[in-house]
Structure 1
Amino acid sequence: MNNCVMCSTGLKFMNTPTFGAGKLSDGGIVCTSCYKKINNANPSVAFKLKKYTLQQVQEILQVKADENNSKNSKLDEIKTELKNLNLGNTSLFLGRKEINELPQILAEGEKINNVIQGTYNNGHGILVSTNRRLIFIDKGLIYGLKVEDFPLDKISSIQYETGLLLAKVKIHTSGNIAVIDNVEKTSARQFAEFVRNYISQPKEQQTVFVQNNGEPSILDQIEKLAKLKDNGILSEDEFTEQKKKLLEKL
């Protein structure tokens, strides 16, 4: 009886993917557990596993592991950054789903300086202020992730209005007004005043966006993706999509 080429588990009927789905192009076979790992990393690769060698599959899993490690490390940094802000509101607790998305949303060198929670365009999420923009993030259960940003240099003014229990924040940009409703009154006032003071400062006094030279550059990451494409690990469409995401960070 053969063993799984990835984890060396003895292959039996109960732990072998059916209809030869776990067979690789170089003749090796993976067990059901390893097949699931491949599927979680890249479903399109798992679906056409017979086209890939063991080495290619291992490289795919390593790329995915590196991405997850980078994401978790970035998320830990963001959570520490938010904790150090001492905002004193419930936004960080109630907006946990949205905060977990920040590693993919924030660009290199982009720093958070304030957060509030509220509703916008019928979505409930958080409004994040950074040294570059305001970002409304809504991670819904049904409609998935929605992100809309307002570059600081496009914001003409920011206001707040308080009601009996809650408040709203109004962001004025090029003749348009974005209204964030259902915000805590104290948080709305502090957020609006902070952003107003921040955008009124001379550009040289605002936090400057810088590239973190300790991490691979965008060009280095694109070169790595191109190598994976040349080796047949990424399809042309997958390469184009990932390249586009990287270029958007420039």
Structure 2
Amino acid sequence: MVDVNVRPDIDAAAAKLRSAVGSKREILRLPEVLWEGETVEMLATGLYGKGNGLVAMTNRRLVFLKHGVLSQQIEDFPYERISSVQWSGGMMMGTLIVFASGNKAEIKQMPKDSGKALADALRARLAGAAGAPAAGVAQTAPAPAGGDVASRLATLDQLRAAGAITDAEYQDRRTKILDSL
């Protein structure tokens, strides 16, 4: 658990990290790169480009931030531009590959637990952008009935497991999905 005192959303996401070795400076600088109204949902550490940094999953985009003494690096991936996400994990570390706008970004040396959780939440977010409701957005149209229900429930389970939605949101959405049958 990482204890910082930046702002509530960042503090909550940082508290879920096992370690912030090499990324505490980035956590403290994160508010400087966020857009107005943007909130942090998950954090992970990883190696991208020229150094270790912080991967932040927000309500609008995926951000990689490296804030070193001599150099800084910021790269963001708005969700509407991400076409695919891959996760490959080893015993302790893994690699997240993000395909966005014809580019491939590999974030290596991510701790397996936080990296996989972030990859799963990112996949669920992208699935939400493609038709299912996104985290924090109420469903307004009736849900399609049939075999699609199982996949929607599985996505909902992944969102809860990744910490992207609360237990109350999970129960509410699960009820709506089942009521649509």
TM-score (norm 1): 0.48
Bigger RCO of structures 1 and 2 (CA < 8 A, at least 6 apart) = 2
1: CA distance between counterparts of 2:34 and 2:126?
Answer: 19
Q: Deviations over 1:195-223 (max 9, x none)?
A: 11012114763447xxxxxxxxxxxxxxx
Give the secondary-structure state (helix, strand or coil) at the position aligned to 1:101.
helix
Structure 1: any 5+ residue segments left out of the alignment?
1-74, 209-250
What code does the residue aligned with 1:153 have?
A: E
Deviation at 1:125, TM superposition (A): 0.4
Q: Percent identity?
A: 29
Give the secondary-structure state (helix, strand or coil) at the position aligned to 2:37.
coil
2: CA distance between counterparts of 1:76 and 1:186?
Answer: 23
Q: Is 1:205 equivalent to 2:96 in the alignment?
A: no
The match for 1:195 is: 122
Aligned mate of 2:100, from 173, 180, 184:
173
2: CA distance between counterparts of 1:105 and 1:156?
Answer: 23
Identify if the C-alpha distance between structure 1 residues 77 and 166 changes in structure 2 by more than 3 Å, giving closer, same or farther: closer
Q: Deviations over 1:83-130 (max 9, x none)?
A: 334524213x64210112122111111010011101101221001000
How many pairs does the alignment contain? 131
1: CA distance between counterparts of 2:17 and 2:23?
Answer: 14
Q: Deviations over 1:101-160 (max 9, x none)?
A: 1221111110100111011012210010001111100011222x2111011100011111
Asked if the contact 2:40–2:56 (Cα under 8 Å) also holds between the matched residues in 1, the reply is yes
Equivalent residue runs for 1:87-126 within 5 Å: 87-91=16-20, 94-126=22-54
1: CA distance between counterparts of 2:69 and 2:12?
Answer: 29
2: CA distance between counterparts of 1:94 and 1:121?
Answer: 15
2: CA distance between counterparts of 1:112 and 1:126?
Answer: 12
Higher helix share: 1
The match for 2:84 is: 157
Asked if the contact 2:17–2:43 (Cα under 8 Å) also holds between the matched residues in 1, the reply is no
Equivalent residue runs for 1:1-250 within 5 Å: 76=5, 78=7, 80-85=8-13, 86-91=15-20, 94-143=22-71, 145-201=72-128, 202=131, 205-207=134-136
Higher strand share: 2
Q: Deviations over 1:47-80 (max 9, x none)?
A: xxxxxxxxxxxxxxxxxxxxxxxxxxxx9553x2
Structure 2: any 5+ residue segments left out of the alignment?
138-181
What code does the residue aligned with 2:126 have?
A: I
2: CA distance between counterparts of 1:164 and 1:76?
Answer: 32
Give the secondary-structure state (helix, strand or coil) at the position aligned to 2:114.
helix
What code does the residue aligned with 1:179 have?
A: E
Note the aligned Cα RMSD (angstroms): 2.2
1: CA distance between counterparts of 2:73 and 2:68?
Answer: 8
Give the secondary-structure state (helix, strand or coil) at the position aligned to 1:108.
coil
Identify if the C-alpha distance between structure 1 residues 182 and 205 changes in structure 2 by more than 3 Å, giving closer, same or farther: closer
